Structure 1
Amino acid sequence: MDLRLLRIFSTVVECGGFTAAQAELNKSQSSISTQISALELRLGYRLCERGRGGFRLTEKGQHILKASKILFGALDAFRDEAQGLSARLVGDLYLGLADNIATLPAAHIDAAIARFYRREHDMRLHIVVNSPTELELAVIDGQLDMAVAYFSRPLPTLAYHPLYTEEIGIFCGRRHPLFAVDRPSVEQLKASDWIKHGFLPADQVLPVTPDRTSAIAHHMEAVVHGVLAGTHLGYLPAHYARSWLENGQMRAIHPATLRYEVQHSMITHAGRPQSEAVRAFIDDLLAEHQH
């Protein structure tokens, strides 16, 4: 069986169809279709239905996809085993990050990457930015080797390594009615409309628990849009909001008292073997956050 054809098939499924896979594979739709047809010819049955009804795997296609993932995992394990005989790191490393932590002084992700790239390697680093919930799921599913973010509660299949903390405060946009109020009361804050973090658990303890939340955000940038609109109050990292504070588009509400800190951690899968490259990056990440 041609592994190249199996990888093309797997990529098409991950992208959701031939059209979406063109950019990922750097191939034309007709070329992809020809190669999938060649794979189906070798197997002797159809793997997917494509046409006006959209892209859909057949039942046999689902089995082949599952078997392909097992095969690719075995190949990766072999590669890692063979690579362990050499001092040079090779392969791909998948890192997940929370959004908008580049301005957080305590986050030394860039320093960890720089330290890692000083090693002898032939690596390709993939960096994905997503919400904490999606990052956890991606590590569990094996799509990411590790991730760094604020995770509200531990999951049993993941290992957590604390790295740094982040200060969160309440912010109000210039268009909001409370922007001109010198010291708004807690009652005024609770009665206002808020944009809520979708990744926080329902029992999360906050300095002010709003009575109304007509908007939900799964990324910090989405919270900023709600706050700048003047329609909502929102919790934001103090470091991230600094530029809007300085140009007068936002103000912090009672920053000395109505604030809290969250712990950012690195997560890995607790039961999955790690390649030498992943272990090296973990060492570099932990070393840069021990200061």
Structure 2
Amino acid sequence: MLRNVTDLDLRLLRIFASVVKCGGFSAAQAELNISQSNISTQISNLEQRLGYRLCERGKGGFRLTPKGQRILDASRNMFDAIGSFRDQAQALSESLVGELYIGLADNVVTLPQACFSDALALFQKRDQDVHINLFVNSPNELELAVIDGQLDLAISYFSRSRPPLEYRPLYTEEIGVFCGDRHPLFGVADPGMDAIAAENWVLHGFLPEDQELPLRPESSSATAYHMEGVAHAVLAGTHLGYLPLHYAQTWVERGRMRALLPEQLRYDVTHSMVTYAGRSRSEAARAFVDDLLSVHGLTG
């Protein structure tokens, strides 16, 4: 009785299927390139493995038994399944599959140097069936998510490095000081540094206290952990705040914001791709990293 299917069983079943297709042992010799007696031996071995007769052969000719017909049908189904598995396995050798988890800083879509959307477009051209999960969070939360394995990679401005992580600079972003049209300094043509520093500010909660800034505020009654929070406080006219120039541009054009002392109160930050150093990446993650670096004119 057949308790498990071995490579030998598959070979015997293929010989059996060829014999049936050819209509007998003698006719199958040419197709199988083995002698009639050898074919007979192989079929007998298969019948012994199964425990019952598959076909009648002799002077009356070749014909299948009822069980032989059932085995033929079952073996054909099995061969079809093996062929389907082979085709899928071969297709997967060049195809990317699975899930991809990516973290991003908020409000960088208007930054010309940030080519993340180009990286997405390039990745979509690959032979892939990958589900992409995008998350927006503060730099600190993004770093922790990469460390915990919740994200494959993240892109943001990181003020300092964490030892388990690897940082790859991608592009820079220009930051300035802004006030809203409701703020008393909005109509002042040339406010001094001291006056600006003495105003009420909204601070960035994701920046360390020793972060180097062109002007450090003296007073603050609000902390924001995303750029949108800073923008709300500035537009309220109650606070001054540091904002990316590209992000504030929409409100500047509408007359809702203005940059204060733009030649002096301006600095650049570098946005980096962060991954966990030493942790193996999925094929999809490796491919996306390659595409991300490529659209930023970098190599792996």
Write the deviation string for residues 154-175 of structure 1: whole angstroms up to 9, x where unpaired. Answer: 1000010000000000000000
Which residue, out of 128, 135, 159, partners 2:142? 135
Q: SS at 2:103's partner residue?
A: strand
* 1:257 matches 2:257: no
CA distance in 1, matches of 2:243, 2:122: 30
Question: What residue identity is the alignment partner of 2:240?
Answer: L
* 1:204 matches 2:204: no
CA distance in 1, matches of 2:209, 2:98: 40
Write the deviation string for residues 19-40 of structure 1: whole angstroms up to 9, x where unpaired. Answer: xxxxxxxxxxxxxxxxxxxxxx
* 1:83 and 1:89 in contact (8 A); partners too: no
Please report how far the alpha carbon of residue 84 of structure 1 lies from its aligned counterpart in structure 2 after TM superposition. 11
Query: How many residues in Structure 1 have an aligned counterpart in Structure 2?
Result: 210
* 1:83 and 1:90 in contact (8 A); partners too: no
Distance change (3 Å), C-alpha of 1:172 and 1:83? farther
* 1:112 matches 2:133: no
CA distance in 2, matches of 1:165, 1:83: 42
Write the deviation string for residues 42-89 of structure 1: whole angstroms up to 9, x where unpaired. Answer: xxxxxxxxxxxxxxxxxxxxxxxxxxxxxxxxxxxxxxxx99971100
* 1:170 matches 2:172: no
CA distance in 1, matches of 2:234, 2:164: 36
Which residue, out of 162, 166, 189, partners 1:155? 162
Identity of aligned residues (%): 61
Please report how far the alpha carbon of residue 225 of structure 1 lies from its aligned counterpart in structure 2 after TM superposition. 0.4
- Show structure 1 runs of 5+ residues with no match: 1-81
Q: SS at 2:264's partner residue?
A: coil
Query: What residue number does 2:153 align with?
Result: 146
Distance change (3 Å), C-alpha of 1:246 and 1:263? same
CA distance in 1, matches of 2:242, 2:193: 14
CA distance in 1, matches of 2:224, 2:156: 16
Report 1:184-195 matches (<5 A).
184-195=191-202
CA distance in 1, matches of 2:141, 2:200: 26
Q: SS at 1:265's partner residue?
A: strand
TM-score, normalised to structure 1, is 0.71
CA distance in 2, matches of 1:184, 1:200: 26
CA distance in 2, matches of 1:249, 1:286: 36
Question: What residue identity is the alignment partner of 1:232?
Answer: H
Please report how far the alpha carbon of residue 271 of structure 1 lies from its aligned counterpart in structure 2 after TM superposition. 2.3
- RMSD (Å), alpha carbons: 1.4
CA distance in 1, matches of 2:91, 2:170: 28
Which residue, out of 210, 217, 229, partners 2:236? 229
**Moved beyond 3 Å, runs of 4+:** 82-85
Report 1:1-291 matches (<5 A).
86-290=93-297
Q: SS at 2:249's partner residue?
A: helix
Please report how far the alpha carbon of residue 219 of structure 1 lies from its aligned counterpart in structure 2 after TM superposition. 0.1
Please report how far the alpha carbon of residue 255 of structure 1 lies from its aligned counterpart in structure 2 after TM superposition. 1.1
Q: SS at 1:183's partner residue?
A: coil
* 1:171 and 1:252 in contact (8 A); partners too: yes
CA distance in 1, matches of 2:133, 2:165: 20
CA distance in 2, matches of 1:289, 1:255: 27
CA distance in 2, matches of 1:111, 1:279: 16
Please report how far the alpha carbon of residue 129 of structure 1 lies from its aligned counterpart in structure 2 after TM superposition. 0.4
CA distance in 2, matches of 1:207, 1:154: 22
Q: SS at 2:242's partner residue?
A: strand
Distance change (3 Å), C-alpha of 1:278 and 1:176? same
* 1:172 and 1:179 in contact (8 A); partners too: yes
Query: What residue number does 1:27 align with?
Result: none
CA distance in 2, matches of 1:197, 1:214: 12
* 1:194 and 1:215 in contact (8 A); partners too: yes
CA distance in 2, matches of 1:195, 1:263: 21
* 1:171 and 1:235 in contact (8 A); partners too: yes
* 1:148 and 1:267 in contact (8 A); partners too: yes
